[in-house]
Amino acid sequence: MDNQSLTFLSRLYLDYLDVMHYSDRTIGHRETTLLQFTAWCEERGLTRANEITKPILERYRRHLHHSRDKRGNPLSAKNQLGRLIPLRGFFKWATQQNYLLYNPASELELPKVEKRLPKATLSPDEAELILSLPNIHTEEGLRDRAILEVLYSTGVRRMEVVNLSRADVHADRGVLAVRQGKGKKDRFVPISERAIEWLKKYLDEVRIGFAIEPDPQNIFLEKNGQPITPDRLSRLVTKYIKQADIGKSGSCHLFRHTVATLMMDNGADIRFIQQMLGHASILTTEIYTHVSIVKLKQVHELTHPTMHRQRQIEREPEATKEVLLSTLDEESEEEQS
């Protein structure tokens, strides 16, 4: 096979990402974007990587700008960005590996994505109303209450809830171990005593009956013994939000937004919320700021609405809050896509 062909180099690049322990989701996304770009190039008689120049990439960028999605709507700037960034990574790798003499994407300008604040968050009363809706006298209702309590107490991502195992609950320390979160990073997250009690009740009274050998070890199971899926979890949470009839919509990520917003309102330092949510940085180019889990637990107890205590802690500038909330909003869009 031609070692300059886009198809051949794309496969080598994806193998490289796998060796470097990139997540399956990241590799899958980059494979899709490279296939789309390769198909576009082949329609124009371009099959080799050394035929790709900066003007050709600029033509592809304009092509994306005028493209439509499956519903007939123009591609959003965020969607266009998501298709161009993998190309920059691919051509950078190909140049570093000496498959190309120069990187045609090194100076490619990317679409600017508008920073937006989340459309809505829950008030403490609204959150409590939603948590009260599952019928805890049924097995699935008790499980659902435990799920909602975990989401509201910890602000963890949807996939992080799905992947939680029984060994991740450290009730004596009041923390959850979130393993292989976004970016394959592990972290500890504070969890309230109330959420722990609901988790214990579910584990002791419901999960033990749902589990079928071989036990998958995931905390949250369906009645057939299989781990709850991300889509099923989203539908479940959306159902209770709609039932609350509070004029707001959303799913798992609505609780993530809410936790961050309410803790900031109660005075939590932005750095603690940053670690709790598993953000590598408030600004994506900065190095992660590590904070002691003991201190983080104290901040959680003082500022999370379920703890019923408030104390003023030194506040971060408003602009920094906007960046954090904007990051949460972008995460929500990624989850929905």
Structure tokens at 109: 């300008």
**H or E stretch at 231:** helix 230-244
User: HSE of 214 in the Cβ direction (CA atoms, 13 Å)?
Assistant: 1
In the prediction, which pLDDT does 281 show? 53
Structure tokens at 2: 């031609």
In the chain, pLDDT over 90 holds for what percent of residues?
59
In the prediction, which pLDDT does 325 show? 65
Give the whole-angstrom CA distance, residue 299 versus residue 276.
10
Among 227, 171, 162, 164, which residue's Cα sits nearest to residue 195?
A: 171
Give the whole-angstrom CA distance, residue 28 versus residue 79.
15
Give the whole-angstrom CA distance, residue 52 versus residue 81.
19
Burial (CB count <10 Å: 0-12, 13-18, 19+), residue 203: middle
In the prediction, which pLDDT does 316 show? 41
Question: Is 36's pLDDT higher than 80?
Answer: yes
SS3 of 107-126: the string is: CCCCCCCCCCCCCCCCCHHH
Residues with a known catalytic role: 157, 182, 253, 256, 279, 288
| Band (21; pLDDT cuts 50, 70, 90) | confident
Domains of the chain from N-terminus onward: 6-96 (1.10.150), 124-336 (1.10.443.10)
Give the whole-angstrom CA distance, residue 179 versus residue 186.
4
| Band (180; pLDDT cuts 50, 70, 90) | low
| Band (154; pLDDT cuts 50, 70, 90) | very high
Answer yes or no: are the C-beta atoms of 196 and 186 closer than 8 Å: no
Q: Which residue has the tokens 């298709």?
A: 83
SS3 of 66-118: the string is: CCECCCCCECCHHHHHHHHHHHHHHHHHHHHCCCCCCCCCCCCCCCCCCCCCC
In the prediction, which pLDDT does 37 show? 96
What average pLDDT score do residues 147-151 get? 97
User: In sequence order, what are the beta bridge partners of 178?
Assistant: 187
In the prediction, which pLDDT does 263 show? 87
Answer yes or no: are the C-beta atoms of 129 and 258 closer than 8 Å: no
Answer yes or no: are the C-beta atoms of 36 and 83 closer than 8 Å: yes
DSSP single-letter state for residue 137: T
Render pLDDT for 184-218 as a digit per residue (tens, 0 to 9): 678 899 999 999 999 999 999 999 999 998 999 99
In the prediction, which pLDDT does 324 show? 67
